[in-house]
Structure 1
Amino acid sequence: MVAAPVTPPADVPVDPPADATDRRRWFALAIVMTAAFMDLVDVTIVNIAIPSIERDTGATFSQIQWITAGYALAFAAGLITGGRLGDIHGRKRLFLLGIGGFTVASALCGFAANPEMLVASRILQGAMAAMMVPQVLSIVHATFPAHERGKVFGLFGAIVGLGAVSGPLLGALLTEWNLFGLEWRPIFLINLPVGVVGLILGSRFITESKAPRALRLDLVGVALVTLGLLMLLYPLTRGEELDWPLWGYASMAGALGVFAALVAYERRKAARDGSPLIELSLFKVKSFAAGIAVQTVFGIGLGIFFLVWTLYMQVGLGWSALRAGLTGVPFSIAVSTAAALSVQKLVPRFGRGVLQAGALLMGLGVLSYLWEAGHYGLGITSWQMALPLVVMGVGMGLIVAPLTDAVLSGVPREHAGSASGLINTVQQMGNALGLGLVSVVFFGEIGDRLTPAQMGPAFVDAFQNALGWVAVVMAAIFVLMFALPKRPAQHLEGAGTDEPGGPDVADRLDEMDGMDGTAGSADTAVTTGAAGVPA
């Protein structure tokens, strides 16, 4: 399947001449892939160590939530900004700044003296990841010719799958081994040697690039997005702990006003200088508007599930971190396998139906898990969890890989980069919102001052309540998907070839890279598209 020739817009850099014998670009690829892997693992590795962190630091439930939600919020708020800064100041420069800052933040997390310092360090870590991750595929664009990128993107898919499997296991092993008596801290400190090596080699082998006519950064838009999210998420996260004070409701209501002000400001800015943070005209495209809703709601479901799942296994059932990590392996393998099949084999033939089947399968897996949790109670075993986890994993794999392409298929080419950045940003925002809602759907079901004998049953009941809400989320996603196109545009255009990762994919990503000054924002479609895999 070969796309029609596309003339790139003025602000999209033309492919640089690449010497086929130049091995430096493969070193550069290894460096940026390692950074992407480090970010993905750092998301997945933390959840498995949450109970150990809670025991060692005495963190409250709200602080536990912010250890994960703070990272997700900072990452979401900074994704578009990080991509735009790379366009303006250079992708290599921002990548090195991001990986250096991520390494420093990892050290601060590892040596955190109290829960407050850990939360602050995690927020910094998320902000640095938002600088680092959006540059990854922009660097690939500047380093590899179009005909080689299909192979490169296949390698990224393998990295996503490897990170999904290895993150929980690595976190479990590092926590169980208790290296040097540091308990959970090595899950962060392991980033230090990787980050230092990446920084040194990146400065030597990565080629600098930037957009010739990058737009200015919309600082007011960034501030309004961040303020609105904080006003919404902070009361949600601390509401249960503070007995839902009046100021919390006022803050959440005020967040709606902030988002309304954001929309009004972005409209004026688009009319004034054409460089808004959010391209509002995209929402006139039915498939894009529905896709944004799907991504947001999907992120909420993932944010709820993965945190409560970890707490259920380790606190409620009393399992070790290693046993919990091994229990999640069938899920991760199922996600990776289904994701590869969905893109290469299923979507070209069945289109939107693949995504809807994924939502139904994930919902079925959640309902079967809910039944098992109630039926077996505290006596449930890992092998009994395997079947619902595999069904959920297959369903998730059928959604995460093709969703971005399905949403982008109706978007005008001149807005492809901005649209892709926004899609991945709202998914991360949804994840942060889901983590905030954990205090309502999970901790809200757990009474105060529980005895050790009451702890297990209370966590089982709370887990069932949370799963019920995740099932509702899956049903909502299934309905919303009817607004997506029946088949993504690229599968309609050239049905003669079913070669995955061919020139049409490269052309499509070329169009994204640099559009509207958001080159790099599109990168997150590959590097963070499955970051929720056990986030």
Structure 2
Amino acid sequence: MTTTTAAPATARRAHPLLLTALLTAQFMALLDTSVVNVAGPTIRTDLDTGGAGLQLVVSGYTIVYAMLIVTGSRLGGRHGFRRIFGVGLVVFTAASLACGLAWDETSLIAARAVQGGGAALMVPQVLNLIQATYAGADRARAMGRYAATIAGGMVAGQVLGGLLVSADLFGLSWRPVFLINLPVGIVLYVLARRVLPDGGVPSARGLDLPGLALLAPALLALVVPLVMGHELDWPTWGWVSLAGCVVLFVLFGFVERRASHPLIPAALLRVPGVLPGAVTLLLAMTAFGGLMFSTALYVQGGLGYSALEAGLTFIPASLVFATVSLRWQVLPAAWHPRLPMIGMPIGALGFAANAWTFRTGQPLPVLLATMAAGSFGLGVAYSPVMTLALRRVPLPQVSDASGLMVTMIQLGQVLGVAVFGTLYLSVGGDFHHAGEVTALWIAATVLLTTVPAARLRR
């Protein structure tokens, strides 16, 4: 099978530490996606936050992140990847300080939203630079490390959050989970100034402000009622908001068809692999985000684990995902297009087994084994999905393609927390039953990904 890839634009200027700097930024952003899952109960007690407020602390970051990623990616293409990366890193680090100093629920939610905006400027430049700098086998290896970083960042957030909350450094309780970003952000800024190439995509598209003005309220109208509906007993305004989000998405589609520089160009969606890859990532990350959030609730609220113990339960699954993501290339090349179709059903079986462990109250080693099995399946599929989805994207469309894929990853996590978190909290009965029902729906979502993944093989 003949494939085409974008010619690397910055290969001659690539610094040996370039990938390290990029993946560190990706790691930081993902860390702050998941760190609140474990720190959540402590935050809830300290700030007297309700369940809906806690979900907004978690998802407020990823809502803004998802809304602005395409715009952030396009700004990088127009004004230089290094420049926009640096701006995003400064905003992200400053907002982390504001999170650590938050005095109530409202101030923390607001700071998390600003933090998400910084991540939306910073993170798209990671894929932009991987696409523009590496080609062929080098790009495949970079994608494998990228996928391993995603697994590590998501789970490290759980573990590090548990360690920091349990340590109660200087009597600051949960606040160090955000304050730790300050020294890391400062060091990374200095490194990035030295190793990131200063360039963009000469033909990068302009901004689509009308599209953004419709997409932002559409996402809010979808996520906020899902997050707050359970605690507020599904008020009328929530149903009106959900209906309004449908109208806003229809208007968004209408405006995008006539926009000079649409957020999601039709030409990009016609590139082979891009659309099925984006849908596959959206479904997979919805399931993964829901699994992380609901399992953290199950082991802390149901089994009575501490924040540290809850974080440690995610380590085996993370190691399995990261290892498989790094090693899938050793398989024969003829197998690579089939890996998403192999991995996703394995993942679905693993998460269905999770449902059994929740229902029967199996001991911790059994729960760890079923989570690892599900992560093995996702690990088999994830990096090949990214590689197959982006392999034919021409250089002028790199920024848009990177923005689209990262948007799907982040939007999936938002929907996972909102949908499966609400499902877990809404299901009647004890926590065993809630965990079982939620895990079964997560398994069904993973199995559904085989439909778009099958198109990647073609």
Deviations for 1:81-124, whole angstroms, at most 9, x for unmatched residues? Answer: 11111122222221111111111111111111112211111111
Report the secondary structure of 1:319's partner residue. coil
User: Computing the radius of gyration over CA atoms, which structure comes out larger, 1 or 2?
Assistant: 1
Query: Is 1:401 paired with 2:378?
Result: no
- Following superposition, the deviation at residue 200 of structure 1 comes to 3.4
Aligned to 1:167: 157
1:64 alignment partner, one of 54, 58, 77: 54
Query: Is 1:349 paired with 2:341?
Result: no
Report the secondary structure of 2:331's partner residue. helix
Aligned to 1:445: 427
Deviations for 1:211-270, whole angstroms, at most 9, x for unmatched residues? Answer: 33332111111121111111111111111222222222122112111111111111112x
Q: 1:139 to 1:293 in 2, by over 3 A?
A: closer
- Following superposition, the deviation at residue 421 of structure 1 comes to 2.6
Aligned to 2:256: 266
Aligned to 1:428: 410
Q: 1:168 to 1:206 in 2, by over 3 A?
A: same
1:368 alignment partner, one of 346, 353, 356: 353
Q: 1:409 to 1:102 in 2, by over 3 A?
A: closer
**What amino acid sits opposite 1:365 in the alignment?**
G
Query: Is 1:301 paired with 2:287?
Result: yes
Aligned to 2:455: 483
Counterpart-to-counterpart distance in 2, 1:279 and 1:48: 38
**In the alignment, is the contact (CA less than 8 A) between 2:218 and 2:246 conserved in 1?**
yes
1:317 alignment partner, one of 303, 308, 312: 303
- Following superposition, the deviation at residue 206 of structure 1 comes to 3.8
- Following superposition, the deviation at residue 281 of structure 1 comes to 4.2
Deviations for 1:332-355, whole angstroms, at most 9, x for unmatched residues? Answer: 011112222334426x23244321
Deviations for 1:118-151, whole angstroms, at most 9, x for unmatched residues? Answer: 1111111111001011123545677789997666
Counterpart-to-counterpart distance in 2, 1:81 and 1:138: 13
**What amino acid sits opposite 1:477 in the alignment?**
T
Report the secondary structure of 2:457's partner residue. coil
2:366 alignment partner, one of 380, 384, 389: 384
| Structure 1 residues 55-454: aligned runs within 5 Å | 55-139=45-129, 156=146, 159-160=149-150, 162-164=152-154, 166-269=156-259, 273=260, 275-283=261-269, 287-345=273-331, 348-376=333-361, 380-408=362-390, 415=397, 417-438=399-420, 440-445=422-427
Counterpart-to-counterpart distance in 2, 1:284 and 1:145: 21
Q: What 5-or-longer segments of structure 2 have no aligned partner?
A: none
Aligned to 2:435: 463
Counterpart-to-counterpart distance in 1, 2:67 and 2:165: 30
Report the secondary structure of 1:484's partner residue. helix
**What amino acid sits opposite 2:444 in the alignment?**
V
- Following superposition, the deviation at residue 463 of structure 1 comes to 1.4
Counterpart-to-counterpart distance in 2, 1:244 and 1:334: 39
TM-score, normalised to structure 1, is 0.78
Deviations for 1:441-489, whole angstroms, at most 9, x for unmatched residues? Answer: 111125xxxxxxxxxx722221112112112212322234333324xxx
**In the alignment, is the contact (CA less than 8 A) between 1:17 and 1:145 conserved in 2?**
no
Report the secondary structure of 2:203's partner residue. coil
**In the alignment, is the contact (CA less than 8 A) between 2:99 and 2:175 conserved in 1?**
yes
**In the alignment, is the contact (CA less than 8 A) between 1:343 and 1:401 conserved in 2?**
no
Counterpart-to-counterpart distance in 1, 2:3 and 2:275: 25
**What amino acid sits opposite 1:357 in the alignment?**
I
Equivalenced residues, count? 458
Aligned to 1:532: none
**In the alignment, is the contact (CA less than 8 A) between 1:266 and 1:280 conserved in 2?**
no
Moved more, 477-486 or 315-324: 477-486
Q: 1:324 to 1:130 in 2, by over 3 A?
A: same
**What amino acid sits opposite 1:356 in the alignment?**
M
Moved more, 148-157 or 286-295: 148-157
Counterpart-to-counterpart distance in 2, 1:482 and 1:7: 24
Query: Is 1:472 paired with 2:458?
Result: no
Deviations for 1:14-43, whole angstroms, at most 9, x for unmatched residues? Answer: 446449xxxxx3455543332222222222
**In the alignment, is the contact (CA less than 8 A) between 2:85 and 2:123 conserved in 1?**
yes
Q: What 5-or-longer segments of structure 1 have no aligned partner?
A: 20-24, 447-456, 487-535
| Structure 1 residues 25-64: aligned runs within 5 Å | 25-64=15-54
**What amino acid sits opposite 1:182 in the alignment?**
L
Q: 1:468 to 1:345 in 2, by over 3 A?
A: same
- Following superposition, the deviation at residue 289 of structure 1 comes to 3.7
Report the secondary structure of 1:277's partner residue. coil
**In the alignment, is the contact (CA less than 8 A) between 2:155 and 2:318 conserved in 1?**
yes
**In the alignment, is the contact (CA less than 8 A) between 1:76 and 1:130 conserved in 2?**
yes
| Structure 1 residues 3-14: aligned runs within 5 Å | 14=9
Counterpart-to-counterpart distance in 1, 2:418 and 2:170: 34
Aligned to 1:451: none
Moved more, 237-246 or 207-216: 207-216
Report the secondary structure of 2:291's partner residue. helix
**In the alignment, is the contact (CA less than 8 A) between 2:6 and 2:394 conserved in 1?**
no
Instruction: Name the Cα RMSD after superposition.
Output: 2.9
